Structure 1
Amino acid sequence: MYQKCNASAAEMNTKFESMDAAELVKMLAIVRGIERTSIPERLIAVAEFASLFDEPMQIVDLAHHLGVHYLAEKERADKLQATLEMVSEPVRPSVIDKSAEDMASKDREIAGLKSSIAMLMAAFKLMSAQSAFKMPDLKSDDPMAVRQLLGAMADQLDATRNSLEDMMRELTHRHDLNKQLHKMQRVNH
């Protein structure tokens, strides 16, 4: 019995798929009396509709078949409508104000950092001029300028330290204080 019902349902589904849905809906509208037609045309539509089905249960199958298609189309239309609403939804002013406020805050922060870099570089240049260090000419707009400046200064300080160490070694070598202990004692008396 179950196999017979499945076979009958499959047969009806193929029959429903082969029918023109628009023509069937128009025929049902005439049968229900929704469309304005003459009485003979309505009777012909009822007879034609009745000839499509061998048993009343097939009408229920047709209703189910049309309902499944309707629900699938309705779900697709709802998704499309939701997507359309989401895309066409205007941006709320609070979101615009918040993003503009964030942008202004970031711009102020960047301007402050650039100003700090410029002051730091000016201080380094002044210090290097007073200490006779040679510093490269750098632009304060370059974010890597401070790093380059500190690197150059570290190299200069390292070179100065090395020259001081060499000078101290030379002085120690020339004037060995251990050998000249007697001169130190005379100075103390």
Structure 2
Amino acid sequence: MCQKCQDRIVKTQQVINEVGAENIVEMLSAVVGNESISPLERFASVMEFGSIFKEPIEVLSIAHYFGGEYLAEKDRSKKLRATLEMLSEQKYSPAVNKADETVASKDREIVRLKSSLAMLISAFKLMTGHAGFDMPNLKSDDPMAVRQMLGSMADQLDAAKGRLEDMMRELTHRHDLNKQPHKTLGSDH
């Protein structure tokens, strides 16, 4: 940056410090016509503004200064707004959402398992009804109740298996299965 530009920036800073940024903004507002004041007051503001800033480049310099301040303030405002939004959000909200998703997933899995269990129980009842076994009633969805029911069914199947083994032994003792007439007929052919 050239020396002349640096001097202009220093002079602009001095004017702002001496007159005050608020007073300069009020003068500019009166000069432009944004304020509803009398024409005499407006003329006084134009004269005062003209006495402070003698060259047009000084007006551009002050405009540049206020533009830079505006942009810096806007940036600070955005950062503050982002900070406030971040603080206003619930802490651990992603973890809460993740926990909710996990609970929902587990609930869906439990529903699927209960449905599968109901289908299995129906199949067991049908199967045991045809086989002559007594299917115990399931009183709840509790895993222990299911375990007790399956244990009762296993006991019944063990008893049936024992009866079948006894029948087979009795048949082998009563009859010599190797000397049956239909086997001898088949060997004569």
With CA pairs under 8 Å and 6+ residues apart, which has the higher RCO, 1 or 2?
1
Question: Which TM class, normalised by the smaller chain length?
Answer: 0.3 to 0.5
After TM superposition, the score normalised by the length of structure 1 is 0.47
